[in-house]
Amino acid sequence: MAITVLAHRATQPLMPTHCAYCGITSTPLWRRWDDLDACNACGIRLKRSTVQTKKKKSQVPEYTFTEAANILLEMYNSSSSSNAATTSAA
Instruction: List the domain boundaries for the chain.
Output: 4-82
Give one DSSP letter per residue of 68-82, joined into a string: HHHHHHHHHHHHHHH
* pLDDT single digits (tens) 63-87: 787 888 888 888 888 877 766 555 5
Please say whether the beta carbons of 39 and 30 come within 8 A.
Answer: yes
- pLDDT at position 67 is 84
Ranges of residues in the chain whose predicted pLDDT is under 70: 1-13, 51-61, 82-90
Please say whether the beta carbons of 58 and 29 come within 8 A.
Answer: no
- pLDDT at position 5 is 61
